[in-house]
Structure 1
């Protein structure tokens, strides 16, 4: 079992650990997201019912909803900004609720370090971004906001390599260089 923060409620939840069957199914989905349960079952040599029941559980517990897969630029919001908020901690709950009310806020994370919250904002243009920045600064408890515009996505969000690594199918150069060590110092 693993704990994770629910992005919709900021509550700690318990999630069942993914076994190798779940990971193999996720790896198959990562190459073609809309594969049928039958196609995945055939590719992995598993029963369709097994794959279907696992997919149902994964869709409820692990896989992101469709809206998280849509790039904001495809909707006309091509300007991406990362905003570091410095806040009064006692207002964190209220600030989080206010962030949820701003449509251009597509993601927010609590941080360690000098900033308290990292907010990802999508805007159609600089004027709209300026307006959103003003809304962020007007939230009670926000003391300062520092923005950085994304010039290019250099490494897109991905988990395929992590899935492969967790299945032992991917090794870094150091692990294959003959040092005899696998992941986390385990014997290769």
Structure 2
């Protein structure tokens, strides 16, 4: 999508404030018609503005209290296949391709330290994974957020 206009930014800000808001509630809050809000939401969705609508569930609530980041160095020619194989590991909850010294940064969860050791071993056993380094997550200090970006964009309008 090109640039977002003032109404798009206000709509996104309202959604960031209350992600459960109904179209009717958003329309009331923004002083727009329900149809306008629905049309804009559909356009924003088609344009790829919205990421996953998957509900965020705590891995700890599912019995996985340990979280770690696994930095992986991989054979470049095999990145796509390696990524596909890593995605088959249920304890992998997210992965990013990186530039620099590390090729993949893989976010994993585990039941305990032995389980983490086993998850890391499964990643390392994938053909083409040359080396891994695992760091325990001690706590989230800044969660995923976009509200500061939205506020900045609204000020620039």
Runs of 4+ deviating beyond 6 Å: none
How many Å separate the matches in 1 of 2:144 and 2:108? 16
Query: Is 1:130 the counterpart of 2:87 in the alignment?
Result: no
Q: Superposed, which structure 2 residues align to 1:5-20 within 5 Å?
A: 15-20=1-6
Identify the structure with bigger relative contact order (alpha carbons < 8 Å, sequence gap 6+): 2
Q: How many residues align?
A: 155
Q: Determine the structure 1 residue equivalent to 2:26.
A: 40
- Name 2:98's counterpart in structure 1: 111
Residue in structure 2 matched with residue 22 of structure 1 by the alignment? 8
Summarize the Cα distance change of 1:145–1:76 in structure 2 as closer, same or farther, 3 Å threshold: same
- When structure 1 is superposed on structure 2, of 120-129 and 58-67 the one drifting more is 58-67
Aligned to 1:177: none
Between the aligned partners of 1:84 and 1:69, the Cα distance in structure 2 is 23
CA-atom RMSD, angstroms?
Answer: 1.7
Structure 2 unaligned runs (5+)? none
| TM-score (structure 2 length as normaliser) | 0.90
Q: 1:150 to 1:167 in 2, by over 3 A?
A: same
Work out the CA distance in 1 between the residues paired with 2:25 and 2:5. 20
Change (3 A) 1:44 1:155: same
User: What's the CA shift for 1:70?
Assistant: 2.3
The separation in 2 between residues aligned to 1:116 and 1:54, in whole angstroms, is: 37
TM-score, normalisation: structure 1: 0.76
- Mark the runs of 5 or more structure 1 residues left unpaired by the alignment: 1-14, 169-182, 184-188
